[in-house]
Amino acid sequence: MARLGHHIAHSTVWRILHDAGIDPAPRRSGPTWRQFLTAQAQGIIAADFLHLDTVLGTRLYALAFLEHGTRRLHITGVTAHPTQAWTVQQARNLTVDLGPRTESLHFLLRDRDTKYCRTFDSVFQADDLHVIKSAPQAPRMNAYCERVIGTIRREVLDHILILGESHVRQVLKIYEEHYNRHRPHQARGQLPPEAQQNPPAVRNLDTYRLLRTRVLGGLINEHRHVA
């Protein structure tokens, strides 16, 4: 039937195999993907691209890395033209910033975006990291990095009109510092990524206003420096 061009439904194939006494193949030995992520969390760092549009309609791209174990966020750069050479340079910048902490990492998790390349992978493989590519059209395989990008959008980018590259670099730099030093995470018992104990309580809990104040203050100082 299939050779004659007729499409056979999955249920029909299942019924034929079931009637013939052929059961579905059992799951291969080994942990599930969720079990792997949980067991290897301390050794995984994930990468993903974040895109955003300026008020003039220019699309910009930022490359974000997230350490699964600590939830530490790294936003390495922003560009309007994310070439493979640019992406490789961001990988090199990250390994320099990580320093000795690279020794505790064993896996780099990324999708199959064409902006990555073999040279990008080789930067991490040189530090004995094994590169794992998520399956096509399976964003849940990189769910932690996908979620932090959604967090950046909801907590910052949805509330600010981006003027250009320098502006978004300043915004993301301030948010990265806030995310790593102050923002609590449920997976870490409400501790920020860079904290070993609960920080002292603060009176002003208006996070949005605090971020807006710091962003605007940074932009004013930047314009004064340029002037």
Q: Kindly report, residue by residue over 176-193, the tens digit of the pLDDT.
A: 999 999 898 887 888 888
Sheet holding 59-67, edge to edge: 73-79, 59-67, 44-53, 107-110, 130-133
Q: Would the pLDDT of 20 be above 90?
A: no
Alpha-carbon span 50 to 172, nearest angstrom: 11
CATH 3.30.420.10 corresponds to the domain 33-226: yes
pLDDT of residue 98: 93
pLDDT grade, residue 227 (50/70/90)? very low
Instruction: Supply the pLDDT for residue 216.
Output: 57
Measured distance CA(70)–CA(213) in Å, rounded: 27
Of 134-138, 159-163, 206-210, the range with the lowest mean pLDDT is 206-210
Banded model confidence at residue 221, pLDDT cuts 50, 70, 90: low
Over range 86-97, report the average pLDDT: 96
Does an H or E element contain 58, and which? Answer: none
Residue 26 or residue 157, greater confidence = 157
* Nearest in space to 122 (alpha carbons), one of 136, 142, 105, 108: 108
Give the pLDDT confidence of 94-127 residue by residue, as tens digits: 999 999 989 999 999 999 999 999 999 999 999 9
* Banded model confidence at residue 226, pLDDT cuts 50, 70, 90: very low
pTM of the model: 0.76
Domain ranges of the chain: 33-226
Residue 16 burial class via C-beta count within 10 angstroms: exposed 0-12, middle 13-18, buried 19 and up: exposed
201 or 196: which carries more pLDDT confidence? 196
Give the pLDDT confidence of 149-158 residue by residue, as tens digits: 999 999 999 9
Distance between CA 20 and CA 70 in Å, rounded? 51
Taking residues 8-21, report their average pLDDT. 80
